Amino acid sequence: MDALRVTKVEGVLCTKGGSTSFATLHLTAHHAIFHYDEEGKEEMWVPYPLISLVSRMPMTLQGQFPLTIHTRTFETMFVLFVTEKDATDVFESVKELTVATSVAQLYAFFYVPNPPFAVSNGWSVYTPREEFLRMGVGTRSKAWRFTDINKDYSVRSRLTPDVVRSCLMT
């Protein structure tokens, strides 16, 4: 992808929620992944649409180059880089990847499960008659009943063949 100037930066210092750890930052087409160097600490995946603001700060007194990442879930992460080039490349990459110009660029349209989901007929997943029976129509109360008035779609073309109607209707 053209927006990715760098895909892996090692030795970044990540601070989030009062906890500071060294990590390796991986940038993919859809996520920023922080893989912590500490044993037992889970890696942190940040999807780009979740990022609301990325700020580049001036060099610290220790000679590190910070980025501040604010998410839409009101979390803030401070990421410190050893070189200015890494900080600039990550900043520009994240800045470009957080703005999707089309819905088709989102992760949901690229995800391929492993193993793939079983292929099934989507029309058989939901049957209105079974759902109405589950809710007690025609069994718990006699106020509602099924009718087959639309069984050949002659009354309404967009209405299902299983229609529930009030018993008060004639």
User: Each residue of 96-124: pLDDT tens digit?
Assistant: 999 888 888 888 888 888 887 777 777 77
pTM over cut 0.85: no
Do the beta carbons of residue 146 and residue 163 sit within 8 Å? Answer: yes
**Torsion over CA: 54, 90, 112, 42 (sign):** negative
pLDDT digits (tens, 9 = 90+) for 12-28: 999 999 999 999 999 99
Confidence of residue 1 (pLDDT cuts 50, 70, 90): low
Single out the residue of 15, 46, 44 nearest to residue 30, CA to CA: 46
Backbone angles phi, psi at 109, to 5 degrees: -90, -5
Q: Rg for the chain (alpha carbons), in Å? A: 27
* 170 band by pLDDT with thresholds 50, 70 and 90: low
- Compute the distance between CA of residue 132 and CA of residue 24 in angstroms, rounded to an integer: 53
Helix, strand, coil % over all residues of the chain, rounded to 5: 20, 35, 45
The average confidence (pLDDT) of the chain is: 88
